[in-house]
Structure 1
């Protein structure tokens, strides 16, 4: 454990530059006293790092020093070559860069770890999007990525779902997120809070030379986590009480399946009564009809009435010629 922690200190100082003992301790989830002991161990091993005293002080490596990758464990080397990023890297225009980087990392690995990494690459391939997901055209992705990287303002024409559909926006793009095969840009349109825009809905891009600075403390990963949580809260704004035939719960997916497991109670006739989240009456109507006679909607009354009317129409349609 200590050897891995020492390597982590080296890599942190190599990539971030000056860091205080408190910052290192927080990053490694250890005490400041432990960091002091680790720094002393690195000094003893001949690692050229030194400390600056004072309010703006901290530890840094001697300029030009670089640690080698021989500290990688077998699991870390395997995980490195298991990353499913060739497709997204190509989308960003970085396909050749990624290939060159992996080649250099592979060359720096010890022979044993190189063999393990090669086996991982040969036996596993990660393809995140679902089978039936329609691949969206993202012709402006490289321009958006460039603006994100260079912290430059973009003027875009964006297509949204409500009227007016095509609108002009001036964006400060903070970061890009790839979710289920679809690219999103997190950006601020003026003085308001950041919002999420689908890159495939950007119709025109007009780069500018104007630079911007993201808000202090903005964390892209934290923003995206909060955004997803809020999205799911807004998505499932209502609930339905249903009865499910034996085995029907296995056909549910996502939030409905989870809700059935947590709220489901088996009744005397073997059916399960559960409270399921729904997006809307119309959406629930279509989703529940997929289960046919294996589901009965108890509440809300509007949804029950709508499904009742649909089943009556179906009955009339299929018995008309009898």
Structure 2
């Protein structure tokens, strides 16, 4: 266990440069005293670790020192081949690069790990796309990825959701692949905004460098933006009484947002009153009719009356059919 920790400490210094004892302790989840002992052990083994004194000090490796030792375990070697999704890599123009990198990693692995990594490619396939959707045309994805990697501002013509076409000059902050769809997160007028790459109709790099804010974190932004997006998609709330069977059906048949809202609900007797998010009353009308007699709308009154009218019209249609 200590050998693995020493290797992790060495690789941290190699990849991040100077780090304080406290930073190393936090990363390795050990005490500062343990870091001191580990650094001494590395030095005794001939690894050129140096301590810089003072407020801005810390530990660092001798300039130019690199180790080729990675200490890959079997599970780590296998996991490398889960990361190389061929579809998204090809869309970014990196398909051949990923393949070449995998070949180099395989060549460097000992025979046993090479065999285990090879079995991953044979027996597992990652498909990031969604069901029942054709792949989108994205002629500018590779250019956008290049601008993200080598930050330059972009001038783009973009088709918004309602069909309106606008022109924007943006600074690329990152690319996100969500359910098979690519999104560009970019700075526009000082605010991070999200653009669906398939809706970019024209693109031109301006040649002007874009200075990416050091404090911007793509994963954090995307998590917060996704939450706000889901809330905007389901702005309405309806109050419904459901039976236990109706609660199970609602979790299975309604939207993911509704399923999440009902996830922690515990049935209370014969009927349980719940609040369900929905895109609109029109969507709620169709969705709640699927639950049949296992659900009764309490509010809003407009939706309750519309469901009564729809059920009445359906019953009348069947009654007229029986008499003909």
How high is the TM-score relative to the length of structure 1? 0.88
Q: Contact (CA 8 Å) 2:234, 2:279: kept in 1 or not?
A: yes
Q: How many residues align?
A: 318
1:257 aligned partner: 259
Mind listing any 5+ residue stretches in structure 2 that lack a counterpart? none
Cα distance 1:46–1:61, how it changes in 2: closer, same or farther (>3 A)? same
Q: Contact (CA 8 Å) 1:250, 1:257: kept in 2 or not?
A: no
1:167 aligned partner: 166
Deviation at 1:71, TM superposition (A): 0.8
CA RMSD of aligned residues (A): 2.4
Tell me if 1:183 matches 2:182: yes
Secondary structure, aligned partner of 1:302 = helix
Cα distance 1:69–1:78, how it changes in 2: closer, same or farther (>3 A)? farther
Q: Contact (CA 8 Å) 1:186, 1:196: kept in 2 or not?
A: yes
1:86 aligned partner: 86
Deviation at 1:320, TM superposition (A): 4.2
Tell me if 1:226 matches 2:224: yes
Secondary structure, aligned partner of 2:212 = coil
Secondary structure, aligned partner of 1:18 = coil
CA-to-partner distance for each residue in 1:268-319, whole Å, 9 max, x for gaps?
Answer: 3xx5443222232122223223334443322222222222233334334444
Residues 250-259 or 297-306, more deviating: 250-259
Cα distance 1:212–1:242, how it changes in 2: closer, same or farther (>3 A)? same
Mind listing any 5+ residue stretches in structure 1 that lack a counterpart? none
Matches within 5 A, 1:150-299: 150-162=150-162, 165-191=164-190, 193-251=191-249, 252-253=251-252, 254-268=256-270, 271-299=271-299
In 1, distance between residues paired with 2:73 and 2:230? 38
Tell me if 1:113 matches 2:113: yes
Residues 219-228 or 13-22, more deviating: 13-22
2:15 aligned partner: 15
In 1, distance between residues paired with 2:247 and 2:125? 31
Deviation at 1:124, TM superposition (A): 1.4
Secondary structure, aligned partner of 2:214 = coil
Deviation at 1:30, TM superposition (A): 3.2
1:143 aligned partner: 143
Residues 177-186 or 295-304, more deviating: 295-304
Deviation at 1:70, TM superposition (A): 4.7
Q: Contact (CA 8 Å) 2:230, 2:257: kept in 1 or not?
A: no
